[in-house]
Every structure is written in C-alpha cells, then in structure tokens.
Structure 1
Amino acid sequence: MLFLAVVLLVLVREGSEVFGRSVGGHLSDEFAIDVTKLADSEALMTQTLGRTQRRKSRKKRPNFERKMKDLAEAVHACGSMGFTDMKLHKLRNTSVTCNDGSPAGYYLRRSHGSKRWLLFLEGGWYCFDQASCRNRWANMPRNLMSSKGWPDRKKGNGILSPDPEENPYWWNANTVYVPYCSSDVWSGMSPRHDKDDFAFMGALILQEVLRDLLPLGLKNSKTLLLSGSSAGGTGVILNLDRSAEFLRREGSSVQVQGVADSGWFLDNKQYMPTECTETLSCAPTEAIRRGIQWWNGQVPERCARQYSKDEQWRCFFGYRAYPTLQAPLFVIQWLFDEAQMMVNNVGTPVDKEQWNYIHNLGVDLRKTLTNVTGVFAPACLAHTLITKSDWMTVQMKGVSLPNALHCWEQSLLWGKVEPQEPTCVSQLVDSCPWPHCNPTCPKLRNPFTGEEMDFIPLMMELVGIDMNAIAEQMGMDPDDLVRMLTS
C-alpha cells in the first residue's frame, strides 16, 4: 500500500495540473480519488480555462485516465485483503437505540480525499402494533430489532461496492451502511419505556448517524447521496428533506440527494381483502395508519401540511410525498414489485381476474411516475436492485441503472432538466404491460429445481396455467397472448 500511496501522489499532482486545481485530503490504506468527474472535465474547463489550456489538457487527459484506471484496479486488489470492508461504529448518543434497547450504529468505509458520501438505509418490512412486533421478534432475523449480533465488518455490493467495475460512479465515495433495527420504516421517534417495551427511533437513528459523520468529513463535503432499499427506500422519501435541513442547521453546505429503491408503494385496494393480523398480509394503508401512531412516526413537513393529523400516514406513499419534497429524489421501482404484490394479496395468477389486477397494478404505478424527473422503472417481477452485484444488467432503451443515475446526477450538477448528450437519459419507465416483458429482467428460479426460467414458462409449470383458457377468457388468440406477455 505504501507503493500505491506514492503512485497516487504522483497521479494526483498530474491530475491537479490537468484540471487546474489541487486535490485535498491525505493518503491512507483506504484512500480513493474522486475520478467520476473526469467525464465532465471538458464542461468544467469551459468555465475555468481558456482555449489554449483546454487543448493542452485534452492531450494529457487520456494518459491520466488510463493511469487512474490502473490504480483503481490495484486498489481493488488490496480490497481482497479486507481493506475495503465497512467497519461497525456504534452511535455516540447511546440513548438512541434499536427496538430492544441495544445501541444503534452504522458501518463506514472511509475514502480519504473524496468529497462525496453515500449513505444507505437497510430495509426489512416493519411491525405496527404489539402483536405484530412480538411476532417479528420471535420469527424474523433478530438483527432487524437488535444490534447484539451485528458483525464487526461488512462488505458492500452494487452501489456499495468498492470495485469500479461493479460500481463505476460511486466506488470511491465515503460509504455508510446503516442497519435497520427500528421496525418503523425509519420514521419513529418513540423511546423504550420499560424492559418489556420496544423503542421505535428510526428517524433519530439516521439523525445521530449524520451527527457522528459531520466531524469525519461530511460537514465540508460536496454531496451526500441518501439511499435505501425497500423499507429503507421509503425511509429515504420520509427523511430526505429533514436530513438536508438538519445538516444545514449544523453548518454544512453539503448537497443532499436521495435514491429510493423499491420503496415507492401504492395505497390501492388489495386483490383479496384480509384482516390486518400480520405484516405480510395486512393492507399497507391499514398497517401504516396503525404504525404511524405506534412509532410516533414522522413524515416530510411540507407533505404533512396537506393533511389533517389523522391523515398524515398518506405521506408514507411516495407518489403523495414526492411533489412536496425540496431535495432531489431518484426513484427506482419495479413495475411489478414482489412486496407490493404480497401485501396486495394477489397470489399466483391463475385466472383472468388476477391477470387483469396485475396488469392494472403496473398501469397504476406507471401513472404515479409521470412527473418524476429521475426514475428507473423496469417491467419486472422483483424487489430491490441497487445493492445487488448484477445491478448493471437490467436495462431500458440500452441504458443501465448506474448510467441513468449518473446522468441524473449530472443534470443536477449543471442545473438542467436533461443533459444535452442524446445517450444520457434519466427518465426510464418500461411501457410493456406484463411482468418480465423486459428481456433484461432478473431471471426467476424454479423453487423445486433451482433452474432459471422465464416468467410464463415458470407459471405454467408451477400452477398449470392454461394459456388457451386465459386467451379464450380475454377474447384473444393464444399465440398473440403469449407474444404479448413475452415481447
């Protein structure tokens, strides 16, 4: 690593000459240089350098980029020895806890020299009353309610990966992973009152994580990307503006942006209404209505103003909160999200009514995304994406999620709705109408054989779907129906 540090110092000096600026920070065995701006250096130089300087810098830039790529590969090789794991830190404020009263915390991988921070909120459903929380304690992984079993170190995949091949734009950011142990969709501000009670302090946990990170470099950084998946994705929507305001009050000018993965749910009616006795079958509207009181749940202030106190639970649903948010938000949402279909009690589609319900679910979700300026919504049956190693494989119009997200970030940087490059797209919503009609969707697996299968053949094998009968019910030719579902 000493050799790499020396090489880095040489490259940083060369890079500062190329771009006409110095690179701050110090070197350590966890260093990283923010090279994602390389692609935008020409635009930067337009504002800061004359034409002569630009011509000189263009000649130097390819050599610099090549050296930086070689260096990134060498640094990643060091990661295999454990240098790139995230390390557990408990909150300094010990009064902010997990459900069981154990101390909350976060995992951190420092990237000295980088002015960008990536903070990820873990997901994992929720509980909404005494019975559902007792059931969660007894049957769900205990680390979703307690920190007592958390490991000292954690690896990251997808957008959390330190590998520039897997994570081309955020591999070198300061990376923070916040485990979910509050069961409240990151909204709660309710302390534990006695040993038989539960605390619900998700919103406070996030606030205290930010407070602890300020002296570690967050205060003087440029960008904080607040991200999360599932309940963590909804947590991003709920906490985005609040986090930005908290950091401003603490004297930081960091720009806060949000990425909500698989947390944009609908408050529509279930296919088959059920009694609200457990989390996975309770209609989301009823679960959140109960939960917000149980957790002392907090919603975005501007959204809360639009509803009476008894109706503020509606702000948990992204399409209602989004128009009120001031900080920018990028939405990642499968059009046929597995969690949405589970709480809507759809079941395995075996008749026309279920197929119609599923089709309309995609239609309804697509409508809620019409005015979202940064969105990636494939027509797939899946749940969560950004922390998976293969997060680059799903595409729409030839554009992957990392590229769409990067395009969106650059549009924010330049203050434009859409960058000028024709290949740069940050609003992507599939138009095909059925689950897995996008050929790049994640493969489904036969639960009995483990074999990868496409959606329609899998449904035919598992539940004996009769495509001829369904086509007859829908007044279609069977071949046309199969083509519609698979093209």
Structure 2
Amino acid sequence: MQRLAVRSCMLLLLVHLCAPGQVKRARGRGAQSRRVQQQAPAYTERVEGTESFPLDFTAVEGNMDNFMVQIKNLAQSLYPCSAQKLDQDMKLHFLKNESVICNDGSPAGYYLKQSKGSKRWLVFLEGGWYCFNRQTCNSRYETMRRLMSSTKWPASRTGTGILSPQPEENPHWWNANMVFIPYCSSDVWSGATPKSGHGDYAFMGSLIIQEVINELLTKGLNNAKVLLLAGSSAGGTGVLLNVDHVSEQLKVQGHTGVQVRGLADSGWFLDNKQYKFTDCLDTISCAPTEAIKRGVRYWGTQVPENCRQAHLGEEWNCFFGYKVFPTLNSPVFVVQWLFDEAQLTVDNVHLTGQPVHEGQWRYIQSLGQELRGTLQDVPAIFSPACLSHELITRTNWLEIQVKGTSLPRALHCWDRSLQDNTNVSHGNHSTLKQRTPLRGCPVHLVDSCPWPHCNPTCPTIRDQLTGQEMSVIQFLKHMGFDVQKMAQQQGMDPRKLLGMLNNGS
C-alpha cells in the first residue's frame, strides 16, 4: 500500500504542475484524493520544471487491477487539462535500413508507442495468409496490396486487446512499450530474399523483424527486462519461426538481460489431410503442406536452427507448430482455437449458409481431437473449443474463458511462473514441463468438450446468410448435429443432452 501511495503522489504532482489552479478546485472530490494531495508537498522539491518522469509500475503487478482503477479515477478527477492529453496511438516509423523492404520494394516499418519507465516490450507480428509463387503473389497484390506494400499505411494505429493502452481492456500489459509490425512480406515472416528485378517480389519477413529489433535497441529495448514477441495467424506462426532468432540476436549484441518470450495466436496449423483434395491453384484451397513446400523455395526461408537440423532438406516441417515447438529454446505461450476457421478453410471445409452433412461434421470433430492431441505437451496453452480465428487483439478477449480462466489471467500466471522460477533456465522446455504450476494460477488450459462452441464463453455465432445471432443449439443443428443420435450414442436422455449443451457442459 505504501508503494501505491507513493506512485499516486507522483502522479498527482505531475498533474499539479500541469494545471495548479485546476487541481486546487478539484480538492474535496473524494477522501482518497484528499489523502494523496496532503502527501504531495513532501515530493515537491524532488521535481524540477514541468517535465514528465518515468514511472515503473511493474513492481505492483501483483495487485495491478486495483492499482489501475485508483490511478485512472485519480487522473480523471484531477487532470482537466484535456488539451495536453497524451496520445495513446502507435506511430509509424519506416526502417532506416532502406535495403529491408516490403514485397513491392516500398520501405518496411513498424508502429511504436513507448511507455517511459516500463521495462517490458511487446512486439506484435500481423497476420494475413501468404502467397507462394508469381501467380498467387500477383493476385494478392491486386486484391490485398496493403499486405505487400507500405505505400498506403496510416500514420498511426490504435492498439486493441493485448496492444491496448487501456488497463480495463488489457489489465497486465497495458503499460508495456507497444510495437506493431505490419505484415508486408507474404512469407509467414520467414523470408530473406531481396527484390531481384522489375516485376519480382522481395520476401524479407525474417529480416524485417531483425531490423526492427535493431532499431528498438536504440529506443530503450536495450534496458528491457522482458521482450514478448507476439503474433496472430501467419504472425503466430512467425513467432514460432523467429522467437529463437530474436533471442540469439540480443545475446550476440550483448543484451543478455532481456528475457525473450513468445505468444503464438492462431498459428498452430496442422499438416493434415484435406477434407476434399484440390489442385494447388490458389492460396485458399491449396493444402498447407503443398503451399508451404512451394513457399519455402520461393521465399528463401530461414527457420530456427534446431528445427532445420531436425528436418534437413524438409525445412517446411518447421512451419507446423507441433513440429517446431519441441525444438525451441525460448518459452512460448500458445493460443489456439480447437476449431480454427483458417485451418478448416485450407482443409476445404467451407461453412457457408447450408448445413454441413455428416461427413463434414465427423471431419470437424476429428480435427479438434487431432489438434488437442498435439497440445498435450505444451506447458502454456489456452485452447477454447470454439469455431473462430485470432484472439489476442480482440477488444473482448477478456470474455473468453477455458475452465473459468481468461486468457489475460493465464498470461499473467505464465509471467509469474517465469519470474518466480528464476533458478530455472527460461529456455529449457523439458525443465518447464517438470515444474509445478503456481497454485490457483493455471497455464495449461485446453477444453475437453468435443464439438464447436461447447464452451459457453465462445464468441457470438451469426448465421452467414442472415447475420442473425444463433444459439448454441441452433448452431449445432446448422452444423448437422443430431441431438437424438448423439444422445443415443452417449446413452442419455436427449433432454439432458440439450441441457448440457445449453450450459456448455
């Protein structure tokens, strides 16, 4: 409590220096504010001028939620000079190294919002599929140019979910230094191939990450305690492919005090057999294995060294989570829907307006079982039984739960487990698996129910034709779920099964 009071006093003093007349009028708005103000003079002599100063809040993260409510209420009541409100958006920076570029030769870059005083950095890799030959890349350039060129990137971006600066939306990472790296390499963040001529494309995803890290080292990353490399979809796979590269990059440059970790969201794809086989003519219908095999040759891919050694000549294997994960040295938290929409799309299961038939239903269920099996040995995992794609940048990511625990809570538990076990090498997965989790703070969270949306906290389902919300029962019937038949197989009354479905059991 004493630390909280000290930080509150500091914040109040900063506000007082901004608008002393306004602060005086604000007195009496609350007992808590009066107590903080009475202490403020003790710190007046320690501050010179009206410059702001860094506040490192990481020391109070164990009680961060309550702390932030107090700080926000205090700031709102005592900070009327709205014209001087700090800009919370991330600002665009193009790379100084002009040789590291997007697909079309335009400069690569990143968005940054610094948080003075915080020693935690969150670097996020954007997702957005890929292209794997001249034909698919030309098509991508015509239809999704922002994923291949920086020419129309906005000057700033607003962070959401884990990138949000708002503590009510992002309770444990709101105060980190936020970095968003736009995806403009179309290579699952793996390429190291420059643009060779007119009409050709560059594939420099891996080099873009490397160069962004180099620039961030001049902006405070060199003094960081934790660097979390996060990403969604292709960016999630990019985390698995690059987290060890980043860790090694920092060590080689002498920054051994920075703990590098990964957060891979919706990038744990399976190299399974498609529901319907099709020729590899476009990105969407091409089987993941075939697309990646072609892409690896086209992109000039770099993969983690341990995985490369394990799959010499078949480096495409390193793009699939369950194959690359055991070879990584850095700790990685995996977020993966059990019924990922992108996985179903590349498997040619298209959930359009028509109900699926029994063969598709069986395929979807077996996909969930297969994915669940690949996650058994992942120490830190959050895997809801939902039909969806991407999670960590959703504004409502707090609402999704597995076994009563939200993802932000699980990530906070994971942070604590890594901090509280400083005697354990943070890059030793075998040791991590043997470690006893913190009591009441779970990090291995996988739904056990067997069908899509059997978790009651899953995102809202909408009919793709009408746009109307669907109940779980309506959705399952749409998916071809036969309540009578399933109840008979389970040896239970159909009404009991319906009740279990409605409750998410």
Q: Same fold (TM over 0.5)?
A: yes
2:214 alignment partner, one of 211, 214, 218: 211
Out of 246, 249, 262, the position equivalent to 2:249 is 246
2:453 is the counterpart of 1:436: yes
Q: What's the offset of the Cα at 1:94?
A: 0.5
Instruction: Report the CA distance shift for 1:27/1:219 in structure 2 as closer, same or farther (over 3 A).
Output: farther
Paired residue for 1:268?
A: 272
User: Using a 3 Å threshold, how does the CA distance of structure 1 residues 193 and 474 change in structure 2: closer, same or farther?
Assistant: farther
One-letter code of the match for 2:418? L
SS at 1:345 equivalent:
coil
The Cα offsets for residues 272-305 of structure 1, whole Å up to 9 and x where unpaired, read as 1111110111100000010011001111110110
Q: For 1:90 and 1:437, how far apart are their aligned partners in 2? A: 44
Residues in 2 aligned to 1:248 and 1:207: alpha-carbon distance in whole angstroms: 13
5 Å matches for 1:340-379? 340-348=343-351, 350-379=356-385
Per the TM alignment, residue 220 of structure 1 is displaced from its structure 2 partner at its CA by 1.4
TM-superposed deviation, 1:155: 0.3
- Tell me which stretches of 4 or more aligned residues in structure 1 moved more than 4 Å: 2-5, 7-11, 26-29, 61-67, 71-82, 416-421, 468-486
The answer to whether the Cα contact below 8 Å between 2:57 and 2:118 also exists between their aligned partners in 1 is no
Kept in 1, the 8 Å contact 2:341–2:387? The answer is yes
- Write out per-residue CA displacement over residues 42-62 of structure 1, whole angstroms, 9 at most, x where no aligned residue: xxxxxxxxxxxxxxxxxxx99
Change (3 A) 1:441 1:209: same
Distance 2:83 2:399 in 1: 23
Match among 152, 155, 179 for residue 152 of structure 1: 155
Task: Note the alpha carbon deviations across 1:89-133, whole angstroms, 9 max, x for none.
Answer: 000101100000000000000101111101000000000111111
1:381 corresponds to: 387
1:312 counterpart (305, 312, 315): 315
Query: Match of 1:408?
Result: 414
Deviation (angstroms), 1:76:
13
Which position in structure 2 is the counterpart of 1:333?
336
* Distance (whole Å) between structure 2 residues aligned to residue 244 and residue 128 of structure 1: 28
Q: Could you tell me how far apart the structure 1 residues matched to 2:158 and 2:439 are?
A: 36
Q: Structure 1, residues 328-357: CA drift from partner, whole Å, max 9, x if none? A: 000000000000010011233622221111
Q: Tell me the equivalent position of 2:325.
A: 322
Aligned positions of 1:67-86 closer than 5 A: 67-70=70-73, 83-86=87-90
Secondary structure of the residue aligned to 1:259 is: strand
Q: CA deviation at 1:8?
A: 9.7
Secondary structure of the structure 2 residue equivalent to 1:83: coil
Q: Which consecutive residues of structure 2, in runs of 5 or more, have no partner in the other structure?
A: 1-9, 18-34, 43-48, 425-431
Q: 2:118 aligns with which of 114, 121, 133?
A: 114
TM-score in terms of structure 2 length = 0.82
Residue 467 of structure 1 pairs with residue 482 of structure 2 = yes
Q: How does 1:57-206 map to 2 (within 5 A)?
A: 67-70=70-73, 83-140=87-144, 142-206=145-209
Does residue 234 (structure 1) correspond to residue 237 (structure 2)? The answer is yes
Task: For residue 478 of structure 1, report the CA deviation from its aligned partner.
Answer: 5.6
Corresponding residue number in structure 2 for 1:49: none
TM-score (norm 1): 0.85
Report the Cα distance in structure 2 between the residues aligned to 1:354 and 1:365, rounded to whole angstroms: 16
Note the C-alpha offset of 1:439: 0.1
Distance 2:73 2:235 in 1: 35
3-state SS of the aligned residue for 2:310?
Answer: coil
Go from structure 1 to structure 2 and tell me whether the alpha carbon gap of 1:219 and 1:472 turns closer, same or farther (over 3 Å shift): closer
> In 2 relative to 1, CA 483–454 (structure 1 residues): closer, same or farther, beyond 3 Å?
same
Q: State the Cα deviation string for residues 140-193 of structure 1 (Å, max 9, x = none).
A: 2x1100000000011000000000010011101110000000000000001111
Question: 1:68-98 deviations in whole A, cap 9, x for unaligned?
Answer: 4545767999699561010000001011000
Q: Give the conservation status (yes or no) of the 8 Å contact 2:68–2:167.
A: no
The AA in structure 1 aligned to 2:401 is Q
Task: Write the letter of the residue equivalent to 1:432.
Answer: C
Closer/same/farther in 2, CA of residues 153 and 79 from structure 1, 3 Å limit: farther
Alpha-carbon shift at residue 217 of structure 1 (Å): 0.4
Is the partner of 2:414 in helix, strand or coil?
helix
Superposed displacement of residue 271, structure 1: 0.7
Contact 2:61 2:172 (8 Å CA) reproduced: no
> What is the CA-CA distance between 1:363 and the residue it aligns to?
0.7
2:307 is aligned with 1:303? yes
Q: How big is the shift at 1:449?
A: 3.3
Instruction: Quote the offset at 1:383 in angstroms.
Output: 0.3
Amino acid at match of 2:443: S
387 and 79 in structure 1: CA distance in 2 versus 1, 3 angstrom threshold: farther
Distance 2:397 2:82 in 1: 23
8 Å contact 1:240–1:327 — kept in the other structure?
yes
CA distance in 1, matches of 2:335, 2:240: 12
Which whole-Å CA distance do the structure 1 matches of 2:235 and 2:66 have between them? 41
Which deviates more from structure 2 when the two are superposed, residues 367-376 or residues 32-41?
Answer: 32-41
Work out the CA distance in 1 between the residues paired with 2:148 and 2:80.
33
- The match for 1:37 among 42, 50, 59 is 59
Any gaps of 5 or more consecutive residues in structure 1?
18-25, 42-60
> Quick check: 2:361–2:481 contact (8 Å CA) kept in 1?
no
CA RMSD of aligned residues (A): 3.3
Q: Write the deviation string for residues 369-428 of structure 1: whole angstroms up to 9, x where unpaired.
A: 111111100000000001010000001121100000010011011117567653211110
Aligned-pair identity in percent equals 54
Instruction: Determine the C-alpha separation between the residues in 2 that align with 1:290 and 1:373.
Output: 32
* Distance change >3 Å, CA 77–CA 372, structure 1 → 2: farther
Letter in 2 for 1:129: N
Distance 2:65 2:123 in 1: 31
Q: Do the aligned partners of residues 34 and 435 (structure 1) sit closer, same or farther apart at CA in structure 2, a change above 3 Å counting?
A: farther
